[in-house]
Amino acid sequence: MSPPRILVLGSNGGLGRCLERKFAPSGSTTAWTRTDLDLEQPEAIAAKLSAHPFDVLINPAGLTSPDVCEVEPEKARLANDEGPRALAEACHARGARLVHFSTDYVFSGKSHDLWREHDEARPANIYGRTKRDGELAVLKVCPDALVARVSWLFGPTKASHPDTVIQRALETEDLSAVADKTSIPTSNLDVCEWIEGLLQTSASGVLHLCNSGVASWHSWAEAALKIARKIGIPVKTTSVRPIQLAELTQLKAPRPLHTVMSNEKLQNLLGREIRNWSVALEDYLMEKHRPR
C-alpha cells in the first residue's frame, strides 16, 4: 500500500519544520508555509486545498505568542479559530484526516492536579481562548480529527527556553527564571514520533501529547545548565535565581500557572511508556552540542 499523502502546514515554525523533516523521507509529503496558505484568510482555504492532493493534513500553524494574541485579538481569532475551522471543512469535504495542534494554555492553571483531556477548559488569555475555540470548531466539523495539545516545546528547529538559558549563561553569572509556574517541557522530536505512531491508529478527539514529569521555567533552566556542564559547555551561571511570575510585569497576556497535562491516554494508545522530559532534553542538548 502506498504511504498516505501528507500535507504539513506552518513549516517555517518549530514543530512544522520537525514534522516536515520526519515525514519528507516518505516521498509523499508536502510542506507549506504561511505564504502558501494563510489561516487569516479562511475564505481562500477551500480553494487552495482543493487544488492539492493529500490524505492527511497536519496543522501546527497558528498565532502562537500569547502576548501578540492579546494585542491582536482579531488576528488570533482568524489564525487559531476561523482558519482551522476552514481546514476542517475542507478535510471533511474530501474525507481527509486532520491533525490539529493545540495547547496546555486552554486550561485555567488553577489546579496542581494533572489536567486530563476531558477536564474543563477555561483559558486565562486570548491565545488560550482562540485555541480552545479552534479545537471546538475543528471537532464540530470533523469529529474524526485528532486535536493534539502540546506544552513547552523544545528541539532542534527553533531556539526555546533551554537554548536561551545556555546562551545567556555563557555571558553572565546572574540568571533568573520563574519558579511558581509549572507544565511539561516536551520534545518536538518526540511529538513527531508520537504522531507517526498515532497515524497508524484511528485515534481521534482531544489528546495530550507531552513528555512525562513536571517542571517550572526555573527547574527547566537548572536542568539545562546541569546538562550543559556535563557536556563541557563553559557556562558561567552556577545557580538560577528563582523568581515569581508576578515579577514579569512586561508580559501583556496573563499566564495560567499550572498546566501539567496527563499523558496517560497517549501512553495507552501507543502501548508504551513516554519518557521524562529531562531525558529528552539531555538527548537534544547532547546532539546539538556534539563535537563535529
Residues in touch with ligand NAP (CB under 6 A) = 10, 12-16, 34, 37-40, 60-64, 79, 101, 103-104, 131, 150-153, 158
Q: In this complex, which beta carbon is closest to ligand NAP, that of residue 41 or of residue 229?
A: 41
Q: In this complex, which beta carbon is closest to ligand NAP, that of residue 61 or of residue 206?
A: 61
* Least spacing, CB of residue 220 vs ligand NAP, in Å: 11
Q: List Cβ neighbours of 51 (8 Å cut-off, separation of 6 or more).
A: none
Q: What's the chain's Rg over C-alpha atoms?
A: 19
185 contacts 218 by C-beta, under 8 angstroms: no
Give the SS3 label for residue 198: helix
Q: What is the dihedral of CA 50, 103, 178, 214, to 10 degrees?
A: -130
Q: In this complex, which beta carbon is closest to ligand NAP, that of residue 65 or of residue 239?
A: 65
Q: List Cβ neighbours of 142 (8 Å cut-off, separation of 6 or more).
A: 88, 91, 92, 98
Catalytic status, residue 105: no
CA angle 184, 40, 148 (to 5 degrees): 25
Closest to 130 (Cα-Cα) out of 74, 61, 202, 188: 74
* Least spacing, CB of residue 123 vs ligand NAP, in Å: 12
Q: Pick the catalytic residue: 127, 220, 277, 284?
A: 127
Torsion angles phi and psi, residue 207, rounded to 5: -145, 135
* Least spacing, CB of residue 9 vs ligand NAP, in Å: 6
Q: In this complex, which beta carbon is closest to ligand NAP, that of residue 10 or of residue 162?
A: 10
* Least spacing, CB of residue 226 vs ligand NAP, in Å: 21
Residues annotated as part of the active site: 127
